[in-house]
Amino acid sequence: MLISDKGKNSEAKNKAFDNIVREVTDSVEQKIFKGMKREEGKVFLHTGPHHDDIMLGILPYVNKQLYSPSNKSVFAVLTSGFTSVTNSFLKSILENTLNLISSGRIEMIYYSDFFAEGYKHKRYKDIYSYLNSLGLRSDQE
């Protein structure tokens, strides 16, 4: 027994403790199963204080919801202060993106319907390109 036998209410206390443990266990189990469920026709607003926190915190759940075409996901990074992404970093990313566009290396801009249909042609290409670059130890992708 986890609670002392001293006193007339020890059996009641043990039952209460057992009930609490059972409730907590059931609650955690329900949350796990809910997180494994694929939602349909939902809009998700994912928020985080830093640019990587959303993905690091809930990546498996987000991935499951992103693959349903009937769902819409919006990501908002709410960062300021010491740990924020700096203006110079953002500027360098935008300049790099413009260079990639001008060299024809970003193809998605050529799909006029990219967000409706075009992405379906690119979904796995980007993943494979990234993984191949890692395998080749290339920083080009």
Kindly give, in sequence order, each residue whose CB lies less than 8 Å from that of residue 65, ignoring residues fewer than 6 positions away: 38, 39, 42, 44, 71, 73
pLDDT single digits (tens) 110-126: 777 877 777 776 666 76
- Chain-centroid distance of CA 132 in Å reads 23
Name the percent of the chain lying above pLDDT 90.
Answer: 18
Query: How does pLDDT run across 69-110, given as a tens digit for each residue?
Result: 899 988 888 776 666 677 788 889 889 999 998 998 887 787
Query: Which pLDDT value is given to residue 77?
Result: 80
